[in-house]
């Protein structure tokens, strides 16, 4: 049984998808051992509702160190599912190859500091991009720079808004995130 720790900062619909996929067997032989939030958010409530251990570690400069202290020793994978804090270099290096993130754009474009949520979708539209999508990638100390695991795109339509993009991208995320988790868990990289 593989143990997953999920980090969240927001509504946690991707967390919910992971919970559902574990329950349905789409993500087999795995369990979420802990959900960690860096602020009060509905993601924590989702964990609670599913009987998953959950904890709030306040965001700030000591976040990574505090997370290290409570991370279960048998953690196989750390999944960032709408998580807004930046993990420090030491943490990323200690858990290299064991941390993945989902980003609501086609990396390497539209990533980096400040590129989250509606900021990403607004930048994509402003740049006149023909396509957008979602990317699952390994987390390294360079923001949104780690190796890409999976990516899926779609054509941007004429009357697209940041909101319509967000909705389409969420649907893609629900497809590729469980798939990427299965890929990484079965890679036996660790």
- Could you tell me the two tokens for 77? 């994978």
Binding-residue total with ligand GRF (CB under 6 A): 14
Which of the residues 103, 121, 137, 159 is marked catalytic? 103
Nearer Cβ to ligand GRF, position 41 or 67? 41
- Strand (E) positions, the chain? 2-8, 30-37, 54-56, 77-80, 99-103, 131-138, 148-155
Minimum separation from the CB atom of position 61 to ligand GRF (A):
21
Nearer Cβ to ligand GRF, position 33 or 132? 132
Q: How far apart are CA 99 and CA 68, in angstroms?
A: 13
Check binding of 79 to ligand GRF (CB under 6 A). Answer: no
CA dihedral (98, 8, 24, 33) positive or negative = positive
- Close Cβ partners of 68 (under 8 Å, ≥ 6 residues apart): 91, 94
Contact indicator for 68, 95 with CB cutoff of 8 Å = no
User: Is there a catalytic annotation at residue 118?
Assistant: no
Beta bridge partners of 22: none
**Residue of 11, 151, 179, 183 interacting with ligand GRF (CB under 6 A):** 11
Binding mask 58-77 for ligand GRF (x = CB under 6 A): --------------------
- Could you tell me the two tokens for 90? 């030491």
Minimum separation from the CB atom of position 16 to ligand GRF (A):
8
Q: Binding segment for ligand GRF among 6-14, 106-114, 137-145, 147-155 (CB under 6 A)?
A: 6-14
Minimum separation from the CB atom of position 105 to ligand GRF (A):
8
Residues 100-159 that bind ligand GRF (CB under 6 A): 102-104, 134
Minimum separation from the CB atom of position 188 to ligand GRF (A):
26
Nearer Cβ to ligand GRF, position 29 or 49? 49
Q: How far apart are CA 94 and CA 89, in angstroms?
A: 9
Contact indicator for 104, 163 with CB cutoff of 8 Å = no
Is 57 strand, coil or helix? coil
Is 28 strand, coil or helix? coil
Catalytic residues: 103
Q: Which residues bind ligand GRF (CB under 6 A)?
A: 10-14, 81-82, 102-104, 134, 169-170, 173
């Amino acid at each position: 049984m593989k143990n997953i720790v999920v980090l969240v900062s927001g509504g946690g619909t991707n967390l919910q998808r992971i919970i559902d996929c574990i329950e349905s067997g789409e993500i087999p032989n795995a369990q979420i051992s802990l959900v960690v939030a860096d602020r009060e958010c509905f993601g924590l409530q989702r964990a609670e509702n599913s009987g998953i251990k959950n904890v709030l570690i306040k965001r700030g400069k000591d976040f990574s160190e505090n997370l290290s202290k409570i991370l279960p020793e048998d953690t196989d994978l750390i999944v960032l599912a709408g998580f807004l804090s930046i993990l420090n270099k030491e943490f990323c290096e200690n858990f290299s190859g064991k941390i993945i993130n989902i980003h609501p754009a086609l990396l390497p474009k539209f990533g980096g500091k400040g590129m989250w949520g509606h900021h990403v979708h607004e930048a994509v539209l402003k740049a006149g991009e023909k396509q957008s999508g979602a990317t699952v990638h390994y987390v390294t100390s360079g923001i949104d720079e780690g190796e890409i695991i999976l990516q899926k795109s779609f054509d941007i339509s004429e009357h697209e808004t940041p909101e319509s993009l967000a909705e389409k991208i969420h649907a893609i995320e629900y497809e590729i995130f469980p798939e990427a988790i299965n890929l990484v868990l079965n890679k036996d990289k660790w």
